[in-house]
Amino acid sequence: MYSKNFPDHIQKLVPYVPGKPIEETKREFGLKSVVKLASNENPLGSSPKAIKAIKKGLSELHRYPDASAFALKSALAKFLGRKREELLIGNGSNDVIDLIIRCFCKPGEAIITTDAAFVAYEVCAQVQGVRTLKARLDENLVPDSDAIVKLVRDNPDAKLVFLANPNNPTGTYLPNSDLLKLVKRIKEAREGMIVVLDYAYWEYVTAQDLTPPEKLYPAFDHVVLLRTFSKIYGLAGLRIGYAVGHPSIFAMIERARQPFNSNSLALIAAEAALQDRAFVKKAFSLNVRERKAWEKKLEGWKVPFYPSQGNFLLVNAKIGFGMSGVELFNHCLREGVILRPVANYGLHDLLRISIGTRSENEKAWKAFDRLKRKSK
């Protein structure tokens, strides 16, 4: 009844579909055991140090959070070798993405990203009535730098470039020299253009030719880096992430930030998780080992996949199983394995698998194996 009162750009929003919940899948399919490899979560759970800090923090829940996030910013500043003013804390890095777009773009203006880029950039833009211009990917799903620079040159109303490196859902990345060249070319093409580089999966990276965040900022002050506690630190449910960038950018964004955008438990948990290097190491090793095991299995079944630097793999359901990504997703659901279709990215033939523990992965391997044997 009220829908016509909403502006066009809100009416046209396609609701975000998160990974299917475990309990819902159990109910729908009458299953006792279900594994979820759908949301790039940490299969080991949360950092134990964070859990301990949360328990301690429970007695202070009647207090508002520290709006300045002093303790977490101090810990991050020390860890990263930066100053507190070079940090912006958000309710997950999604919140930071939203804040950056709100502060830089007016309705009708644009952001630039690539095809199959992490969906939050476009969603946050559209909520503000901001357009998203997408540069093509090459045949390996790697961003085409020339296409990005052309969009920067041709669109003076575009205010930001967003690039996840590695990207979700593709797992692909722009290597070192290409990324550094691109960042320089964007600066030359347009003074003042901000490049937001999303390093949500940085802690999982094994490739040697992927640019470390510190080579991007402070080396380039038009770069803003996004980081999160949702992935390797295992705190996705708490919602805490941050950005690293030039103080003059964040001083302005701070004016628009909700003072209590990060809750008190998230702030103390993140601070504790940051110190928990043993947990990070364990999660990294598990991901390296299990990602390799997945790759071996997929090669054995002749299911093509895109080499990934994240805690997930994108597989070709069409070539591998003769079905669409959604069809393979539905098959696995019935077997108690939740994976993630990526048709919303225009990738109809593909399906994303988050790397789990060995027992979670084995359940998925059984489902794939049965399907392969049936199709013989």
Q: Which residues bind ligand PLP (CB under 6 A)?
A: 40, 92-94, 118, 164, 168, 198, 200, 228, 230, 236, 241
CA distances from 286 to 34, 60, 313, 363 (A): 20, 35, 15, 17
For residues 126 and 228, which CB has a smaller minimum distance to ligand PLP in the complex? 228
Element (H, E) at 124: helix 120-127
- Cα separation, 235 vs 129, whole angstroms: 31
| Tokens 């960042």 sit on residue | 183
- Per the DSSP assignment, residues forming a β-bridge with 128 are none
For residues 94 and 264, which CB has a smaller minimum distance to ligand PLP in the complex? 94
DSSP 201: T
Number of residue whose CB is nearest ligand PLP:
92
- Cα separation, 97 vs 125, whole angstroms: 9
For residues 245 and 320, which CB has a smaller minimum distance to ligand PLP in the complex? 245
> Cβ of residue 8: shortest distance to ligand PLP, in angstroms?
27
> Cβ of residue 114: shortest distance to ligand PLP, in angstroms?
12
Please return the burial class of 259, using the count of CB atoms within 10 Å of its CB with bins 0-12, 13-18 and 19+.
Answer: exposed
* DSSP SS3 for 52: helix
For residues 80 and 367, which CB has a smaller minimum distance to ligand PLP in the complex? 80
For residues 172 and 264, which CB has a smaller minimum distance to ligand PLP in the complex? 172
Q: What is the DSSP string of 152-197?
A: HHH-TTEEEEEEESS-TTT-----HHHHHHHHHHHHHHSTT-EEEE
> Cβ of residue 229: shortest distance to ligand PLP, in angstroms?
7
> Cβ of residue 46: shortest distance to ligand PLP, in angstroms?
13
The answer to whether the CB of 242 falls within 8 A of the CB of 347 is no
For residues 93 and 145, which CB has a smaller minimum distance to ligand PLP in the complex? 93
> Cβ of residue 230: shortest distance to ligand PLP, in angstroms?
3
> Cβ of residue 34: shortest distance to ligand PLP, in angstroms?
20
